[in-house]
Structures are given as structure tokens and as C-alpha cells.
Amino acid sequence: MKIYTKTGDKGTTELIGGKRVPKDHLRIEAYGTVDELIAYIGLVRDHISSKQIQNDLIKIQDDLMICAAILATDCDDCEIKIPKLYDESIVWLEKEMDQMDINLPLLKNFILPGGHPSVSFCNAARTVCRRAERIVISLSGSYSVPEITIRYLNRLSDYLFVLSRQLSTDNQVVEIRWLPRLE
């Protein structure tokens, strides 16, 4: 199988279900942004040494592949089996955040991202996740999108923020608090 099909040379692509849409369609933007997020999480994974966190990030990438498949599907009665996202994935993210939060300093201010490549990549992934969430919400205004997809992206962005703080702690990075200059 060749990677190139030439079917998109005129600016359209095929969704799961067979419908062709322009490559700038909101559905393509949604799952394309989730794909970008998957790549950023790979960057985070490549910059940490904890095998446990690496495995956790692989699980998250797998869940995001499911989100992308869901977002790439446009058919009422697909004969193709589409994987499903379950509440257990959201509960798992919450438990992981709660576990990390136990050992983190109390958060009293906004924090400026940075201090270590793993922290910076994690914050970049968090912002891409927030963008994906916004696009999926916009998509849901016109198309059927399972609500769990939005909830998962919302919770994942929170997880990535907590993970960035955990990585700061693991790498002995001093978090730089944002202190607004008020007159």
C-alpha cells in the first residue's frame, strides 16, 4: 500500500463513512488538532525518563486516537466499527491528577511555563489540547459529537497542567509565579 493516494490533490479528503469534505472543514480541523496533540504528547514522552509516565502517555495517545477516529466519522449507520471512549478514561485522568497533586506545592498563582524541555512540551501539549477542545465544541454546534469527547479533552488539559507541575518537581525546576503588575 502506498502512502499517497492522490485523492486529496484537489483539496478534499474522505471521512470514515465515505463522505468527501474540503480539507479545511471543521471536522478535519478538529481531528487534525487532536492529531497534533498526539504528536506533542509524544514529544513530552521523549523528554522524560519515568517509564510509568511514559506508559501513561501512551495510554493517553491511544485514547486520543479513539477521539480522532470518532471525530473523523460522519455516517449514521456505519458498517465500520469505530472504537469508543469510556468514562473510565476520564476517571483514570482524575485519579492520576489527584495522586500527583498530593506532593505538589499549593497553587496560589498562575505559573509561567518553562524551566525544562519536558515542562515546556507538556505546556505546549496543554494549549493544543485546549484548542482541540474549542474546535470540537464548535463542531458539536453543527454535527453530532459524543459529549464524552469534549469532557475527555477538558480533563486531559487539566491533567497536562498537573503533569507539567509534577515534571517541574521531578526536575527540580523552580516554578515562576505570574504576579500581575497592578497599578
- pLDDT string in tens for the chain (183-residue length): 778 888 777 887 777 777 887 688 889 999 999 999 999 999 999 999 999 999 999 999 999 999 999 999 887 677 788 889 999 999 999 999 999 999 999 998 899 999 999 999 999 999 999 999 999 999 999 998 999 999 999 999 999 999 999 999 999 999 999 988 888
CATH superfamily of 19-102+112-170: Cobalamin adenosyltransferase-like (1.20.1200.10)
Burial of 160 from C-beta contacts in 10 A (0-12 / 13-18 / 19+): buried
Count the alpha carbons within 13 Å of 49 in the hemisphere toward its beta carbon: 2
What's the pTM?
Answer: 0.92
What per-residue confidence (pLDDT) applies to 22?
67
Count CB neighbours of 108 within 10 A: 7
What per-residue confidence (pLDDT) applies to 12?
77
The residue count of the chain comes to 183
Residues of 163-183 as b/e, b for ≥16 C-beta within 10 angstroms? bbbbbbebeebebeeeeeeee
Residue 155 and residue 167: Cα distance in Å, rounded?
18
Which residues lie closer than 8 Å to 13 by C-beta, 6 or more apart? 7, 20, 21, 23, 28
Domain coordinates in residue numbering, the chain: 19-102+112-170
